[in-house]
Amino acid sequence: MSTRNPAGRWRRLTRRQRAVLAVVVVCATVCAGLVTLVLSAGHRYEGRVHREEILGQSGASRDGQQWRRGALNLLLLGSDSRDGEPDQGEYSGQRSDTIMLMHLNGTRDTVTVVSIPRDSYVDVPARPGVWDGGKNKINAAFAFGGAALAAETVHRLTGVALDGVVVANFAAVRTIVDAVGGITVCIPYEVTSTTTGRRWPAGCHRLDGNATEDLVRQRHGVPGGDLGRIRDQHLVVKAIAEQLSPASLIANPTRLDRLLTTAAESLTVDENLDLTELALALRHVRTERIRFVTVPVSDPGLDTPAGSAVLLDDQAAAELFTAVRGDTVDRWLTDNPRYVSVPD
């Protein structure tokens, strides 16, 4: 079947393939983009994805069979550059608005999305002529050295060898949400937009793309500041997964085509990341087996030379990172349910 018929291709996906699609959508939508094309797109869409060298020593050193067996760990970065908008900027020099570690367990049936607060005060490696190295907010790494330095910083913080990196443009979230026909987000607290003045009382709300982007950008009108925003992002991702149904996209092939095109054009991936292999690795994951956690924090308002920052809980965070490296996240979550951002 021609790749020019996205709706027909979607119909041919099995329930498990659609679940894989939902997982990938979910994980990358947090970064405001998609890897949707890995299953339903073909070369027409995959060719639109930008590739660059990102992983160096931060990458996993394996026998080349990691995509076929064992756990996988991918870094997902949401760039806060907004192409075509007043605050757009060049790729280099922008900060990573969202930083997430996606862990696929060894049995390949569960994904855990670990959010690292963007203001976490950590060691950021040096970049000659730009940054001398030392303590800074973790999202500054993207500004100093792009996705490559961000990946190196996360690797040094967590000790987790990365199997791939996906960078997504934050502005794509509007098109993504509109392409699935809007989403219903249930918020456990009131949120007020400091940008538009929108107010969302505690409860469930039907959102279009603009309202969704407005919600997930809020830091000051949300309980918990940036930690609250992370929870809102998780809620939005969960809502998109629930909305992603065959009927919602087949009914409008033009909308589906726009979704897939936006997905592809919004992404930058590591040059060695095989999107097809990634899709196959995720094929047994169902949407209900996606969990969201936030790295434990001891002080959300640490006073630093870089401004107010987030101090991670050294012991609790180290235990979480050890669990990711050792593929024992299930046990860690059982022992630490308070860190689950979106309960089942």
Model confidence over 33-71: pLDDT tens digits?
333 444 444 455 667 778 888 987 666 655 556 777 889
Q: Which helix (H) or strand (E) holds 291?
A: strand 290-294
Beta bridge partners of 96: 79
Pairwise CA distance, residues 132 & 305, whole Å: 15
Q: What is the mean pLDDT of residues 212-230?
A: 85
**Would you state the pLDDT for residue 341?**
79
Q: What is the mean pLDDT of residues 206-224?
A: 88
Q: What is the DSSP letter of 202?
A: S
CA distance 312 to 35: 30
Confidence of residue 344 (pLDDT cuts 50, 70, 90): low
333 burial (CB, 10 Å; 0-12 / 13-18 / 19+) is: middle
Q: What is the dihedral sign for C-alpha 127, 129, 133, 136? A: negative
Asked if pLDDT for residue 231 goes beyond 80, the answer is: yes
Beta bridge partners of 123: 135
Is residue 321 over pLDDT 80?
Answer: yes
Residue 206's Cβ-count burial label (10 Å; 0-12, 13-18, 19+) is: exposed
pTM of the model: 0.80
* Three-state secondary structure call for residue 168: strand
Band (86; pLDDT cuts 50, 70, 90): very low
pLDDT at residue 128 in the model: 93
Written as one letter, the residue type at 161 is A
Contact call for residues 325 and 318 (beta carbons, < 8 A): no
Least Cα distance to 101 among 58, 144, 67, 48 occurs for: 58
Between 178 and 297, the higher pLDDT residue: 297
Residue 329 has pLDDT above 50, yes or no: yes
Give the separation between CA 63 and CA 172, rounded to whole angstroms: 35
| Domains defined for the chain, CATH in brackets | 6-180+250-339 (3.30.420.590)
The distance of Cα 146 from the centroid of its chain, to the nearest Å, equals: 16
Average per-residue pLDDT for the chain: 78
